[in-house]
Chain A
Amino acid sequence: MSNVVPILKTQGITMRFGGITAVNNLSIEVNPGEIVALIGPNGAGKTTAFNMITGVYTPTEGRIIYCGKDITGMKPDQITKNGIARTFQNIRLFKKLSVLENILIARHLRLKSDFLSATLRLPQYRMEEKQMREKVDVLINEFGLSKYQHEVASSLPYGVQRRLEIARALATEPSLLLLDEPAAGMNPKETEELTHFIRDIKERYNLTVFLIEHHMELVMEISERIYVLDFGETIAKGTANEIQNNPKVIEAYLGVEEDA
């Protein structure tokens, strides 16, 4: 049909921990510019799938292809260098460092100077550091973080911490952004704001977004396509409408009536 090359493609990835199969034979395709969601009840294996894609785990079986390149078994830092950035389910900021430092750290991977020219502040490093700070400045302003920039990350309000985590991920210059439950702990109003926010940054930074989420309003509104996991198996995939009416999905989330 369409000859779009998917930006991310997993070919039957499986993750086994001892005797437990956390994710079984998961095949996902994410096309450039899409927002795709991965949903499922607690313990369905969503975060495990994310951890395989970002290199935290190496899949027991299967391949992960990013932009036509096999990234299976690469380390997380190499994967980030290749252009996949992520956030975490339970925010993982550098708590004791300032907002500015948090984002600057995410630009370290593009630094070319070695440690000696950095320490001795040789001209090349000074130029790089200047550019680094300019880019970070732009991000800080666009994310409305300028009034917090010298504050320690752990002192920020929860919502701002979430925003900072996304800003930090974007500082690595990704083309694919993985969001692990970005709306966790948010009230309906904040969730709605987040929906606009995700759409907005997707357009502005020319991103493809792949997200895990529990808030169904957010998922149904934002995602072009949805994959549903249950006990590690892919039980459904399709558009929001198809998923909402899929009996298997309803069963996974609500249980089967006769059994009650």
Chain B
Amino acid sequence: MKKQDKILTIILIAGLFVFILSADLFFDSYIKRVLNLCAIYTILALSMNLINGFTGLFSLGHAGFMAIGAYVVGIFTVPVEMRSMVFYLKPMHPLIANIELPFFAALILGGLLAALVAFLIGAPVLRLRDDYLAIATLGFSEIIRIIITNAQSITNGSLGIKNIPPTANIWWIFGTAFVTIVFIILLISSSYGRAFKAIREDEIAAEAMGINLFNHKVLSFIIGAFFAGIGGGLYGALLGTVDPKNFLFVLTYNFLLIIVLGGMGSVSGTIISAFIVTAGQEWLRFLDEPLSIGSFDIPLFRPGFRMVVFSILLMLIVLFYRNGLMGTKELNWDMLKRIGSKFSFKRPKGGEAK
């Protein structure tokens, strides 16, 4: 990295720090919540991009791994004295009823458990390819959800877990997102990351170059699931409740939308797109409200209409702009400088002004 770029990067990180600080102090809770959701979706989409975009495994099991993380945080951080109130239909299993963990420990445990499940699922499933892999992982994600729904003495079943302490503030969430981004960037720029990309490009050639396909696929799958679990844990703590219905397949579809939009195989594309899509889903909420001009009701505006916007967006991308925002490229200072000089004004700092 050139010296000038290093300074710019430090300025950017400092700028983000100041931004989060001022957001924490001055923004209202709605905006803060949207920002937090954006950061959580960044973690989740990035971890899914590691599996799908960088290693080329078409996996659709992310909601399941996320659920595991969310539930571990839910189960172990609800204060012991409140548990009888939460588990009012069927008491919590005595083995875990008295175990309460600090938020950080529960978060890591959730990630590790998600990774363990990914390991167990990965052994049979990662021998499949393409659409078969997608169907199998999708199935496992549903299985996880159904087990959660039925293990009532542990997860409170379909009632969900309420009263999760709201530990996950903006610092926790953006801090974790930052660590995740740095970790994934370092991973994919290491020799292991190159091996992942080789598998994505050509499995037969990768294997002929001495890369053990199965081990590397499982590795990518486990790391992706770990961060999905972490993202899920933050999600649970942000919402304050977890419920099996939160983790339907539609959720995985959201992450898929983000990575296709941002570029399969681009970290910066994923980050930008996670913010655009997540914030967009909030801003477009007006489409779900009935709208009338004068006495005339516009019939299109109804609950669910905003999702149609994203479906159309996805179709347009797949048809005309298959590489998404960034393709497999990364946003770097040189690119920003070029864009800056194209518009012939002094390039402002900041990575999202694209």
Contact = CB atoms under 8 A, between A and B. Distances in A.
27 contacts: A56-B204, A75-B207, A76-B207, A76-B208, A77-B208, A77-B212, A80-B208, A85-B208, A88-B208, A92-B208, A94-B201, A94-B202, A96-B201, A97-B198, A104-B194, A105-B195, A105-B198, A108-B191, A108-B192, A109-B211, A111-B191, A115-B219, A119-B183, A119-B187, A128-B191, A132-B191, A172-B209
A15 B247 CA distance: 48
Contacts of B213: 77
Interface string A88-125: 10001111110001001111110101010011110001
Contacts of B191: 104, 107-108, 111, 113, 118, 125, 128-129, 132
Contacts of A96: 201, 328
How big is chain A's contact interface, by range? 35 or more
A77 B205 CA distance: 10
The 7 closest A-B pairs by CB, nearest first: A109-B210, A80-B210, A94-B201, A118-B190, A92-B205, A76-B207, A119-B187
A77 B208 CA distance: 6
Contact of A109 (B186, B202, B204, B209): B209
Given A101-B194, A108-B194, A129-B191, A94 B210 contact: no
A119 B211 contact: no
Interface of B: 183, 186-187, 190-192, 194-195, 197-198, 201-202, 204-213, 219, 223, 328
Contacts of B328: 96
Contacts of A9: none
Interface centre among A75, A94, A107 (most CB of B within 10 A): A94
A21 B143 CA distance: 44
A105 B209 contact: yes
A154 B212 CA distance: 24
A225 interface: no
A54 interface: yes
